[in-house]
Amino acid sequence: MPVDMFNLTTRFLSQRPQAQVQQNIQFAVFSNPELSCPGQMLNDMQFPDQVIIARKSDVGDTDILVEMYAQWVPAQRIIVLPNPLSAELGNIITSVMAGLKITVMNVISSYCEKVGANFNHVKQMLGRDYRFEDAFMESTLGIGGPDLLKDIVYCKDALQNVGLVTEAKLFSDIIRLDKKKREHFVQLMLNNMSTLAGKRVAVYGVTYKSNMADLTNSPAVSVCKALQKEWAIIRIYDPLRDENAILNCFRNRVRVGVVADPQQAYQGAHAILFLVNTNLQHNFQQMRAAMVEPPFLFFAYRLNVNYDALRLQGFQVHIFGNQE
């Protein structure tokens, strides 16, 4: 929801043709932003950290909304603000801060990879600090989903529109660094495989995050498109979405296939990419026997496996962001 929607709605209702308005009917507009995380909406509605209700200080009575929420939300978590613009901006900034946290952690993981530090050790130190929380502390392929990136782009444009060009650069840099993270993953593959042209690549997971059947702005799809440009042959498996939904993400479907059986993905593959956790129990011995020599495994997230044991089996193992 863009900033100033409260005023736009108020003006729209005030300017309705008189013929459509019953006489003596009054209205009040409230801002009640949705502060929920995709995939956890029901839980966030039942157990919200906060409920924001905003109105103009001299218009409308918030008691009805407050009483409704008070049926299940503790009173101290229901906050009434006299400025709807504050509520609308705060709603967008929550997404921006989450996206900023993701980007910062991805920058740290890239630095760990360069200097040989262990990203998990750094993450654990941050997670134990009372000033931080564990959420959005993983190294990932970047920002995905319907909200976070959209709100970051909105803030960039909004700052530019009011002349705050230098401040807008902060958000431009977040977008640029987010894109660079996926480019870095493809470069990791190129550095180790020399070329991807004609190579068969199995991909596990392409939704924008684990346990979410949403492909909106999926970083994993972006990686697959980059592999296309390198002339790789891609076979995708994701149990949460069907073939048509996944293929609709690709304007050019050349050398891209979707399989319903996870074993079909790695038959004759040169590399397997674990981009999003699909909660599968992987049989690495079967994978090893079905792959072309030398077999490569690339992990975009930390999977609960013994990487050294995989190396002893003959795999070339690479963990993105040094998360081993």
pLDDT category of residue 72 using cuts at 50, 70 and 90: very high
CA gap 130, 95 in Å, rounded: 21
25 within 8 A of 5, measured Cβ to Cβ: no
As a 3-state breakdown, the chain gives helix, strand, coil percent values, each rounded to 5, of 45, 10, 45
Indicate the residue type of 50.
Answer: Q
3-class SS of residue 79: strand
The residue that leads in pLDDT, 250 or 78, is 250
CA gap 274, 300 in Å, rounded: 6
pLDDT category of residue 16 using cuts at 50, 70 and 90: low
* pTM for the full predicted model: 0.73
pLDDT category of residue 161 using cuts at 50, 70 and 90: confident
pLDDT, residue 131, reads: 64
Hey, which bits of 78-177 come out as E strands?
Answer: 78-81
For 224-247, write each residue's pLDDT tens digit.
999 999 999 999 999 999 999 999
For 186-230, write each residue's pLDDT tens digit.
999 999 999 999 999 999 999 998 989 999 999 999 999 999 999
pLDDT, residue 90, reads: 84
**For all residues of the chain together, what is the average pLDDT?**
87
pLDDT, residue 42, reads: 82
For 265-301, write each residue's pLDDT tens digit.
999 999 999 999 998 999 999 999 999 999 999 999 8
Contacts of 240 (CB under 8 A, 6+ apart): 207, 211, 212, 213, 278
Indicate the residue type of 314.
Answer: G
3-class SS of residue 256: strand
Instruction: State mean pLDDT over 3-22.
Output: 70
Contacts of 14 (CB under 8 A, 6+ apart): none
pLDDT, residue 243, reads: 95
Residue 271 backbone class (left: φ over 0; alpha: ψ -120 to 50; beta: rest): beta
Q: Percent of the chain having pLDDT more than 90?
A: 42
The length of the chain in residues reads 324
**Tokens (6 digits) for 83:** 């400025």
Beta bridge partners of 257: 235
Cis peptide leading into residue 294 (ω within 30°) = yes
Beta bridge partners of 299: 274, 319
Tell the residue number behind the tokens 């700052």, with chain if given.
159
CA gap 275, 286 in Å, rounded: 20
CA gap 284, 307 in Å, rounded: 11
For 101-151, write each residue's pLDDT tens digit.
888 888 888 888 888 889 889 888 888 876 676 666 677 899 898 888 888
Residue-wise burial string across 49-67, b where 16 or more C-beta atoms lie within 10 A, e elsewhere: eebbbbbbeeebebeebbe
pLDDT category of residue 20 using cuts at 50, 70 and 90: low
